[in-house]
Structure 1
Amino acid sequence: MGLKATLSKVFAFFVNRQLDNIRQNAIAMQQKTFSQLIHQAKATAFGTDHGFDKINNYDDFKKLVPVRDYEDLRPYIERIVHGEANVTWPGKPAYLAKTSGTTSGVKYIPISKESMPEHIKAARNALLSYIHETGNADFADGKMIFLQGSPVLDKKAGIQTGRLSGIVAHHVPGYLQKNRLPSYSTNCIEDWEQKVEAIVNETIKEDMRLISGIPPWCQMYFDRLSALSGGKKIKDIFPNFKLYVHGGVNYEPYRARMEETIGFKIDTIETYPASEGFIAFQDSQKEKGLLLMVDAGIFYEFIPADEYYNDNPTRINLKEVELNKNYALILNTSAGLWGYSLGDTVKFVSKDPYKIVVTGRIKHYISAFGEHVIGEEVEQALMTVAAAEGVEVTEFTVAPQVAPAQGSLPYHEWFIEFGREPADLPAFALKVDKALQQKNIYYFDLIEGNILQPLIVRSLKKDAFIDYMRSQGKLGGQNKVPRLSNDRKIADQLKAYIT
């Protein structure tokens, strides 16, 4: 074991003691965070507009600060983007994270000098938690790769601007820089396919031990490595590769194919970073869920997902959450986001400590007929049947077909790219349909009442989703295809890729 691995074990011990404090004092830490955030932002334009000087408790806050999404907050954010100081947080942000929204176009998320270190600390602590629990630290002595956006930053009104992953690249601790790949010049390549090819050539002979990135793009990287090496498994290309770090999408639909490509069941760490803040990470290989970061400059609120579009939905803080209930996640941050609807839905699987799983997007659902099917239900139904049938799923998305051929009932249309296809596609589709009925009573009622016919699966050609993303100019980086849509914008374009 090398020096870095040895020292990381010592560091991991002390960090775990800090995390134990988080686990045991979450409510008190959230109350402290709330008070600090309100105090620091009192004199800002937002604080003045919303009477922060009158806020003494959470009930006051709810009366004065409404829940908003990005579009609702845009007037304030536009002032920040144009260089105005003290708008939603003291001073100007250190960065603007550039991201894309389905309805908002390009979005600019402020990152302050207070919030930036929390992104780095959480990513670091995710690795140190793994080391502390497992004792496995050898990856610290080898090479690591983080598949991410370009670190080249632009400026808007003097504020450095870029993708979150590109911004974070400038804050990688010095002790990891020599371990880190790809090179800066390779990381700056904008075209994703050229970038992957360059990364493959740069890493194929290196001692890669840790690989991080969202699953579909890591799978592309692995496929290119395997092709260049004559079909070898990743374990034979990188014999010391022992840890995969992922986030951004649910890993389970990708797990079987990833493990087949890698050649063994690799340890994984799930993280939950967003431009708005680093929210949670997997702190245990033995327990389900991601540890909520309650002392990271974020005060969390939650709205029951089934009330989100009500005129006056229930709005609660961490102390009031219930287990196994789907909530829309609302953030108040040390970068100046207030009552901010992130768009994600989460479910608590533990309150001692507070741990969550990400269940989907509040706008990514299907309710064309009142069924309100969510991402978690769709993914679980598909993967349960696929595992039982020995079927390998590469990628998929689902949309309603409300206007089928004359005389037939509407249905949910599933577009699936298989790595290993079912022997009998209609029979497979029927089993998935039955599994979904078991998870969603409204969907069950619609099938039983002959309002809907059972779902129909369309098998797509190899690399269909890569080709589709390329056609949209969204290949690579943090871009991903929504699993669920309540319209047919994606579905109608994917029809061109049906086998």
Structure 2
Amino acid sequence: MAIVGSIIKSLIDLRDSIVPEPEAQKSQEEVLKKLLKKAKDTEFGKHYDFEGILAADDVQKAFAEKLPYFDYNKLHKEWWYRLHEGEENITWPGRPPYFALSSGTTGKSSKRIPVTDEMVEAIRKAGIKQVSALSNFDLPPDFFEKEIMMLGSSTDLQKEGDHKEGEISGISASNIPFWFRGYYKPGEEIAKIEEWDDRVQRIAENAKNWDIGAISGIPSWSELMIKKIIEYHNVDNIHEIWPNLQVYASGGVAFEPYEKSFNALLDHPLTVIDTYLASEGFLALQERPDTTSMKLILDNGVYFEFVPFKPEYINQDGSIVEDAPVVPLSDVKEEEDYVLLISTVSGAWRYLIGDTIKFTNVERKEIRITGRTKFFLNVVGSQLSVNKMNDAVKELEEKFDIKIPEFTLAAVRIDGEFHHHWYLGTEASTSEEELANALDESLKAANKNYGVARSKALKGVKVTKVSPDLFPEWSAVNKKKGGQVKMEKVMDEEKFAKWEAFVKEHS
């Protein structure tokens, strides 16, 4: 019997029964007040009169009325740039010890997002919540004795003056508590390797030395790692190397598009647990097995607001218009898409993180990530969001019994008329014409705006099949491999032309 595992599982169960569930609205009000009090004497806090907001009868309403919306470019241009010039007390007291580098999915160069000591602590607390939530899943005691493969970016952070820089997964992993290091793989030495291919090669070489019970990471890169291990050891599936692998903690993007190709690498299905760790903070986690939704973490240094995701509120670049209405947590509705805004202990204020979400359970405050504001394809009124695209691709997989782990598309002009051109990452023998027709019909059935557009200005759908391997190679050329890098699902015409040239060169 796994005695140690049983003890750990019992302690988790006990903690879960002792720690009370915070009241959502009250927790968020307290978080906002703490943020305002902490930052009231910063340059930002004085400029926007945090003292006055705190004195208001309705602090949340006063906050929403006083502060404009910010995305990274606006906040950096007006405030954060001063941190890089050596100033302090700008949007948060002092100076941040870390900056998270994030090119996201659409940026031309890396963003440098402040990560304070308070944020590092908040991420640590969220990690403990995630471990505690495992008590709700039907996992045997010996699972809690197994090792965890955390596949993120390099933990060899770059020293820049008085701070260090790296991706958020690398920053988080470099701050792993001492008591967890015995469970953490690939370990400090391998985790510090900068080049993705070299790091994964070392993981493959050492894989048989570890007893992995769980993997965490972005699906596309986790899948590539598993494929490398299978190839290196010449086996049929990853369970021949890690027979006790039971859990996959997905993060960053929806897992569903990768599910079929991911499961093909396994001997038996894993328990999949979704998490929402962004460069700006650890925002939500799946806490129960009978859903694929994640619960917002409402008492941990992040204040949430929600803008209805409608075309009239979204600018061409994915930002939101100044007069877009905001919905507080108390008034959100189920199954409606919202643009997520956060204010955090790292000094982000009413910050457009770039993701769209929907509440699947308002009472439990559970959400799903539905897409990116910049991936909203609304040329000629088609109003396609990423979740609609994902659903349509999943239907293709089921209809033709094929795997399509990656895709990208753009609205392009052919002979002066608009078409949607999809590139599907698949090895399937199904013809491109069949895929295009099925994709078109699926989207018409699921989205009335798309149907209207197809009857008017959107003249057709084109599909090109390519190897799924081209997508990570594109990321490698344009950003880098691994870590938090995600493939852009929607491109503008200029970017799409570069993508097509890349495909032609590498096919």
In which range does the TM-score fall when normalised by the shorter chain?
over 0.9
SS of residue matched to 1:269: strand
1:496 Cα deviation (Å)? 4.4
Q: Partners in 1 of 2:158 and 2:18 — Cα distance?
A: 36
**SS of 1:322 mapped into structure 2:** coil
Cα deviation, residue 222, structure 1: 1.1
Equivalent in 30, 49, 70 of residue 72 of structure 2: 70
Provide, for residues 20-77 of structure 1, a one-character-per-residue CA deviation record: whole Å limited to 9, x for no partner: 513xx10111111111111111111101000111112122112211001111111311
Aligned-residue offset at 1:217: 0.9
Task: Give yes or no for contact 2:102–2:167 (8 Å, CA) kept in 1.
Answer: yes
Which residue, out of 117, 121, 126, partners 1:122? 126
Aligned to 1:331: 342
Rate the CA distance shift 1:494–1:131 in 2: closer, same or farther, 3 A.
Answer: farther
Partners of 2:490 and 2:270 in 1: how far apart? 28
Distance 1:347 1:370 in 2: 21
SS in structure 2 of the partner of residue 40 of structure 1: helix
Structure 1 vs Structure 2 CA RMSD: 2.0
Partner of 2:465: 459
Q: Which residue of 2 aligns with 1:382?
A: 393
Q: Which residue of 2 aligns with 1:152?
A: 156
Q: Which residue number in structure 1 is paired with residue 317 of structure 2?
A: none
Counterpart CA distance in 2 for 1:10 and 1:126 is 16
Q: What SS is found at the alignment partner of 1:360?
A: strand
Shift of residue 104, structure 1, vs aligned partner: 6.5
Q: Select 2:31's aligned residue among 30, 33, 54.
A: 33
Partner of 2:195: 191
1:242, 1:266 within 8 Å by CA — same for their partners in 2? yes
Residue 89 of structure 2 is matched in structure 1 by: 86
Task: Look up the SS of the partner of 1:302 in the other structure.
Answer: strand
Equivalent in the alignment of 1:424:
431
The equivalent of 2:262 in structure 1 is 258
Matched-pair contact (CA < 8 Å) for 1:96–1:162: yes
Equivalent residue, structure 2, for 1:482: 488
Q: Residues 470 and 85 from structure 1, CA distance in 2 versus in 1: closer, same or farther, beyond 3 angstroms?
A: closer
SS in 1 for 2:354: strand
> Could you tell me which amino acid in structure 1 is paired with residue 220 of structure 2?
P
Given that 1:257 and 1:392 are in contact with CA atoms closer than 8 Å, whether structure 2 keeps it comes out as yes
Paired residues of 1:328 and 1:346 also in contact (CA < 8 A): yes
Structure 1 letter corresponding to 2:430: A
Q: In the TM superposition, what is the alpha-carbon distance from 1:160 to its structure 2 partner?
A: 2.6
Residue 133 of structure 1 deviates from its aligned partner by: 3.3
Secondary structure of the residue aligned to 1:392 is coil
Give how far 1:399 is off.
1.0
Structure 2 residue corresponding to 1:414, chosen from 422, 433, 449: 422
Q: How many angstroms apart in 2 are the aligned matches of 1:264 and 1:365?
A: 35
Shift of 1:298: 0.9
Which piece of structure 1 moves more, 301-310 or 135-144?
A: 135-144
1:103 deviation in Å? 4.1
CA contact (8 A) 2:147 2:184 kept: yes
1:135 Cα deviation from its structure 2 partner: 4.0
Match of 2:48 among 44, 47, 50: 50
Q: 2:414 aligns with which of 387, 404, 409?
A: 404
Shift in alpha-carbon separation, 1:391–1:495, aligned structure 2, 3 A: farther
- Which residue of 1 is the match for residue 61 of structure 2? 59
Distance 1:493 1:121 in 2: 40
Secondary structure at the aligned position of 1:331 is classed as strand
Residues paired across the two proteins, number: 492
What is the identity, as a one-letter code, of the residue corresponding to 1:466?
P
What is the SS of the residue equivalent to 1:261?
Answer: coil
Q: Alignment partner for residue 296 of structure 1, among 290, 300, 303?
A: 300
Is 2:370 aligned against 1:359? yes
Q: Quick check: 2:273–2:292 contact (8 Å CA) kept in 1?
A: no
1:472 is matched with which residue?
478
Matched residue type, 2:493: D
- What is aligned with 2:450? 443
C-alpha displacement at 1:261, in angstroms?
0.8
CA displacement at 1:191 relative to structure 2: 1.3
CA apart distance, 1:134: 1.8
Deviation sequence 1:415-468 (CA, Å, 0-9, x none): 11114x15333122211211111222111012123x223321100035111322
Per-residue displacement from partner, 1:307-331 (whole Å, max 9, x unpaired)? 2444411112111111111111111
Gaps of 5+ in 2: 315-319
Query: By how many angstroms is 1:85 displaced?
Result: 2.1
Measure the CA separation in 2 of the matches of 1:440 and 1:487.
23
Contact persistence 1:399–1:488 (CA under 8 A): no
Which residue number in structure 2 is paired with residue 202 of structure 1?
A: 206
The match for 2:183 is: 179
Identity among equivalent positions (%) equals 27
Partner Cα separation in structure 2 for residue 386 and residue 495 of structure 1 = 27
1:154–1:497: structure 2 CA closer, same or farther, 3 Å change rule? closer
Three-state SS of the structure 1 residue aligned to 2:269 is coil
